[in-house]
Amino acid sequence: MENKVKLKQEHIDLLSNLPESGMGYQIADITLKDGTVLVERIILNSSYLKLNDSEVLIPEEILKIRLHR
Protein backbone atom coordinates (compact mmCIF):
# COMPACT_ATOMS: atom_id res chain seq x y z
CA MET A 1 0.00 0.00 0.00
CA GLU A 2 1.45 3.35 -1.03
CA ASN A 3 1.86 5.97 1.68
CA LYS A 4 0.17 8.98 0.16
CA VAL A 5 -2.00 11.90 1.12
CA LYS A 6 -4.83 13.46 -0.88
CA LEU A 7 -4.23 17.12 -1.62
CA LYS A 8 -6.66 19.94 -1.00
CA GLN A 9 -9.05 20.64 -3.86
CA GLU A 10 -7.39 23.98 -4.67
CA HIS A 11 -4.09 22.17 -5.24
CA ILE A 12 -5.75 19.41 -7.25
CA ASP A 13 -7.40 22.02 -9.47
CA LEU A 14 -4.08 23.74 -9.97
CA LEU A 15 -2.13 20.58 -10.77
CA SER A 16 -4.71 19.04 -13.06
CA ASN A 17 -4.18 21.96 -15.44
CA LEU A 18 -0.38 21.77 -15.37
CA PRO A 19 1.73 19.41 -17.51
CA GLU A 20 2.65 15.91 -16.44
CA SER A 21 6.17 14.59 -15.98
CA GLY A 22 5.13 11.14 -17.18
CA MET A 23 1.94 9.16 -17.60
CA GLY A 24 -0.10 9.76 -14.48
CA TYR A 25 2.34 11.72 -12.39
CA GLN A 26 3.93 15.10 -11.83
CA ILE A 27 7.11 16.02 -10.01
CA ALA A 28 6.70 19.04 -7.81
CA ASP A 29 8.31 21.08 -5.06
CA ILE A 30 6.07 21.43 -2.03
CA THR A 31 6.41 24.37 0.35
CA LEU A 32 5.00 23.77 3.82
CA LYS A 33 3.62 26.48 6.07
CA ASP A 34 6.61 26.13 8.42
CA GLY A 35 8.93 27.01 5.53
CA THR A 36 10.13 23.48 4.78
CA VAL A 37 10.42 22.71 1.08
CA LEU A 38 9.94 19.13 -0.06
CA VAL A 39 11.85 18.91 -3.32
CA GLU A 40 11.09 16.71 -6.33
CA ARG A 41 8.10 14.98 -4.85
CA ILE A 42 5.82 12.74 -6.87
CA ILE A 43 2.17 13.60 -7.21
CA LEU A 44 -0.14 10.93 -8.62
CA ASN A 45 -3.19 11.72 -10.73
CA SER A 46 -2.72 15.42 -9.84
CA SER A 47 -4.26 14.60 -6.50
CA TYR A 48 -2.11 12.37 -4.27
CA LEU A 49 1.26 13.33 -2.85
CA LYS A 50 3.39 10.22 -2.53
CA LEU A 51 5.05 10.14 0.89
CA ASN A 52 8.07 8.27 2.13
CA ASP A 53 7.32 5.11 4.10
CA SER A 54 7.34 6.64 7.57
CA GLU A 55 6.39 10.18 6.59
CA VAL A 56 3.26 11.80 7.97
CA LEU A 57 1.79 14.93 6.42
CA ILE A 58 -1.64 16.47 6.40
CA PRO A 59 -2.79 18.53 3.41
CA GLU A 60 -3.39 21.57 5.57
CA GLU A 61 0.38 21.81 6.18
CA ILE A 62 0.94 22.58 2.50
CA LEU A 63 1.29 26.22 1.58
CA LYS A 64 2.32 26.06 -2.05
CA ILE A 65 2.93 23.53 -4.80
CA ARG A 66 4.78 24.18 -8.01
CA LEU A 67 6.15 21.89 -10.66
CA HIS A 68 9.81 21.04 -10.22
CA ARG A 69 12.05 22.58 -12.89
Partner 1 sequence: MIYKALYTDTIKLLSIPESGMGYQIFEANPQGSSYIRKYVAYNSELIIEYDDNFAINKQRIIQKGFSTILNESNYLLLQTQTIKLLSRSIVKGSIYLSEATKNSFGRHSNGKGAKDNPKEYASGTDIFIRLSAYENDLRIDFVKRRLKVGSFTTTLEDYKNCLYKSDDPIDRYALPNNEKIEWAFFILPKSVDELQNGVVQPAFDHEGGGIEAYFEKGTSDNTFHVKTKYGK
Residues forming the site for partner 1 (CB under 8 A): 2, 4, 12, 15-20, 22-25, 42, 44-47, 50
Residues 6+ apart with CB under 8 A from 13: none
24 versus 61: smaller Cβ distance to partner 1: 24
Provide, rounded to whole angstroms, the least separation between the CB of residue 57 and partner 1: 16
Q: How far is the CB of 59 from partner 1 (least distance, A)?
A: 16
Q: Could you give the angle at the alpha carbon of 36 between the alpha carbons of 31 and 41, nearest 5°? A: 55
**Min. distance of Cβ 47 from partner 1 in angstroms?**
6
- Listed residue (30, 2, 28, 5) closest to 16, CA to CA: 28
